[in-house]
């Protein structure tokens, strides 16, 4: 067993030690005794051990996937649901600065860039379920407080604090799926999980517009808090731990407690705190190390950041298209977000049904050896649909064509974004299975910064260039950054030189 795959049990009395271990594939091994070191190695009870999350029933796996996706859905709803009600917020607090008003919406996404860098690694120390639910509880408290804010400063501060907790599912959720699902089963689960953070910001403005129209902007926060409280209650009872090293450490702890000679050793061991302090330090710097040293994370992180930036840019500029150019009322203009939702959902469903089949087909075709690169074929149409959609949206809006034309372009943008998102996230989980949460935290940080920054420069760009030329620039950059061909040909070579990829 390599040192990187071991979680120390911190029992070193009388030359004896118990280690909880994990490996990429379960072994036919429970407790082995190594005489020359007098060490007990704790592992799964064979390849079919039901305690191993990868051997859970499909019903149990899907229950966990749906709960995780629900956590991942409700937080992004909050990120954009306030957007249609910013006029009411401005009136309530006397805000006359456009930047401050935009900040009340986008500061939530800024917190997305910071939270995963801590919460993702913590889930690899204290477990996925515990960190996810505590973070969601933090989000719930501060999102509820947003509805009671008495000034723009309080609202911005509360939104930022809520975003820190709401960011947890963006990195931890991928780790959950990597823990539960075998690689050839993982595609459909990741497709559903990837859809949630993109559909959430789409449904947010639609519901937020009607909530604000028939009540006040404060109910935007209170309504999402009520839904999140229901998800929190379900998760508290139904969401079980999946992180294999922690489960094996608990198993080792049970064995220790059954050995009278070891019980006193746990109390006397002077190295326990030191070992966990070292583990925590290494875990917290892991996302930064991955981004600094892993070309895969750098390449996919930049492309995903651009995709997320375009997504939030589109969310914030659609009102200026349909309310400004087409002169539609707020409620009707908000319905055009459904076009983005249709593109996201349709492409996601198609990819969910085909991703695992393509993965298995390519595995069989290339000698039965599975590779993460077999997740990439759907990125090819995705990297083409995105710039095509941008061009349609920009030039049809510029020409004041019938409103259905920009809706078609918006749907194509949504389809391109979700196809690329699903492939990238599945690829990262396959490459960094054990440390998937840290790898996803690294790319989530960059993409959230883009989601925060793109809407801030969009008004200046469109005022200077118009929608046609502005979206043409976005389309050209999307073509340049599209990377499925690079990873298909060179991905394996890059992974083989990696210190962290499996």
pLDDT of the residue at 113? 83
Q: How confident is the model at residue 312 (pLDDT cuts 50, 70, 90)?
A: confident
Q: How confident is the model at residue 271 (pLDDT cuts 50, 70, 90)?
A: very low
Smallest Cα–Cα separation from 445: which of 215, 175, 170?
A: 170
What does the radius of gyration of the chain's CA atoms come to, in whole angstroms?
24
Q: Render pLDDT for 438-490 as a digit per residue (tens, 0 to 9).
A: 888 888 888 888 888 888 788 889 989 999 999 999 999 999 888 777 778 77
Q: How far apart are CA 495 and CA 167, in angstroms?
A: 28
| The pTM of the whole model exceeds 0.85 | no
* Contact in structure between 50 and 26 (CB atoms under 8 Å): no
* Contact in structure between 290 and 120 (CB atoms under 8 Å): no
The per-residue pLDDT of the chain, averaged, comes to 81
pLDDT of the residue at 7? 37
Higher pLDDT, 403 or 187: 403
Q: How is the chain split into domains, by residue range?
A: 3-49+243-269, 53-238+284-496
Higher pLDDT, 322 or 8: 322
Task: Give me the mean pLDDT over the 222-249 stretch.
Answer: 90
DSSP-assigned letter for residue 241? P
Task: Give me the mean pLDDT over the 429-439 stretch.
Answer: 79
Q: How confident is the model at residue 112 (pLDDT cuts 50, 70, 90)?
A: confident
pLDDT of the residue at 472? 95
262 has pLDDT over 60: no
pLDDT of the residue at 264? 40
Q: How confident is the model at residue 13 (pLDDT cuts 50, 70, 90)?
A: very low
Q: How confident is the model at residue 12 (pLDDT cuts 50, 70, 90)?
A: very low
10 has pLDDT over 80: no
Going from the C-alpha of 310 to that of each of 36, 117, 376, 410, 474, the distances in angstroms are 59, 23, 21, 11, 8
**Lowest-confidence pick of 51-55, 85-89, 360-364:** 85-89
HEC profile of 246-296: HHHHHHHHHHHHCCHHHHHHHHHCCCHHHHHHHHHHHHHHHHHHHHHHCHH
Q: How far apart are CA 352 and CA 20, in angstroms?
A: 35
pLDDT of the residue at 5? 39
Q: Residues 6 or more apart from 490 whose CB is under 8 A from it?
A: none
Q: How confident is the model at residue 260 (pLDDT cuts 50, 70, 90)?
A: low
pLDDT of the residue at 274? 42
126 has pLDDT over 90: no
Residue 493 backbone phi and psi in degrees, to 5: -65, -40
Residue with tokens 């892991």: 286
pLDDT of the residue at 87? 78
Residue with tokens 């149409």: 381
* Beta strands across the sheet bearing 6-8: 6-8, 17-21, 39-42, 31-34
209 has pLDDT over 90: no
Going from the C-alpha of 152 to that of each of 94, 101, 143, 144, 166, the distances in angstroms are 9, 9, 15, 15, 20
341 has pLDDT over 90: no
pLDDT of the residue at 207? 84
Q: How confident is the model at residue 80 (pLDDT cuts 50, 70, 90)?
A: confident
Q: How confident is the model at residue 8 (pLDDT cuts 50, 70, 90)?
A: very low
Going from the C-alpha of 434 to that of each of 65, 66, 417, the distances in angstroms are 18, 21, 26
pLDDT of the residue at 277? 58
Q: Which CATH number describes the domain made up of 53-238+284-496? A: 1.20.1250.20
Q: How confident is the model at residue 20 (pLDDT cuts 50, 70, 90)?
A: very low
Task: Give me the mean pLDDT over the 196-219 stretch.
Answer: 83
pLDDT of the residue at 4? 38
In a 13 Å sphere around the CA of 269, the CA atoms on its Cβ side amount to 23
């Amino acid at each position: 067993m390599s040192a990187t795959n071991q979680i120390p049990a911190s029992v070193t009395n009388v030359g004896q030690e118990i280690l909880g271990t994990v490996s990429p594939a379960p072994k036919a091994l429970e407790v082995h005794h190594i005489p020359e070191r007098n060490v007990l190695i704790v592992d799964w009870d064979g390849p079919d051990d039901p305690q191993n999350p990868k051997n859970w029933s499909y019903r149990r796996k899907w229950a966990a996937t749906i709960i995780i996706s629900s956590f991942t859905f409700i937080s992004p709803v909050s990120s954009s649901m306030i957007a249609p009600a910013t006029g009411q917020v401005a009136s309530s607090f006397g805000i006359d600065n456009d930047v401050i008003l935009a900040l009340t919406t986008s500061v939530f996404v800024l917190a997305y860039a910071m939270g995963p860098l801590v919460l993702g690694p913590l889930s690899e120390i204290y477990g996925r379920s515990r960190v996810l639910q505590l973070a969601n509880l933090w989000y719930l408290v501060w999102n509820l407080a947003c509805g009671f804010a008495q000034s723009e400063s309080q609202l911005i501060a509360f939104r930022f604090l809520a975003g820190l907790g709401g960011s947890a599912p963006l990195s931890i959720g991928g780790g959950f799926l990597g823990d539960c699902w075998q690689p050839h089963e993982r595609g459909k689960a990741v497709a559903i999980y990837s859809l949630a953070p993109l559909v959430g910001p789409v449904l947010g403005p639609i519901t937020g517009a009607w909530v604000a129209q028939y009540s006040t902007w404060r109910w935007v926060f209170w309504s999402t808090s009520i839904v999140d409280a229901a998800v929190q209650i379900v998760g508290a009872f139904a969401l079980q731990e999946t992180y294999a090293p922690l489960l094996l450490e608990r198993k080792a702890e049970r064995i220790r407690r059954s050995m009278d000679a070891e019980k006193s050793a746990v109390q006397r061991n002077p190295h326990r705190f030191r070992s966990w302090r070292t583990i925590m330090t290494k875990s917290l710097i892991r996302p930064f190390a991955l981004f600094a040293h892993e070309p895969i994370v750098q390449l996919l992180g930049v492309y995903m950041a651009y995709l997320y930036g375009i997504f939030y840019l589109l969310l914030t500029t659609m009102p200026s298209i349909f309310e400004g150019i087409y002169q539609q009322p707020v409620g009707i203009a908000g319905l055009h977000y459904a076009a983005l939702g249709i593109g996201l959902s349709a492409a996601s469903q198609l990819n969910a049904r085909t991703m695992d089949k393509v993965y298995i087909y390519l595995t069989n075709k290339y000698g039965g050896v599975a590779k993460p690169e077999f997740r990439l074929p759907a990125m090819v149409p995705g990297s083409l649909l995105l710039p095509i959609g941008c061009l349609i949206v920009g030039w049809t809006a510029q020409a004041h064509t019938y409103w259905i034309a920009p809706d078609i372009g918006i749907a194509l943008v949504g389809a391109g974004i979700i196809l690329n998102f699903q492939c990238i996230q599945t690829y990262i989980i396959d490459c960094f299975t054990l440390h998937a949460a840290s790898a996803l935290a690294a790319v989530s940080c960059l993409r959230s910064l883009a989601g925060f920054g793109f809407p801030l420069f969009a008004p200046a760009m469109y005022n200077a260039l118009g929608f046609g030329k502005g979206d043409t620039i976005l389309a050209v950059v999307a073509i340049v950054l599209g990377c499925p061909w690079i990873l298909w040909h060179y991905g394996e070579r890059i992974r083989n030189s990696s210190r962290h990829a499996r």
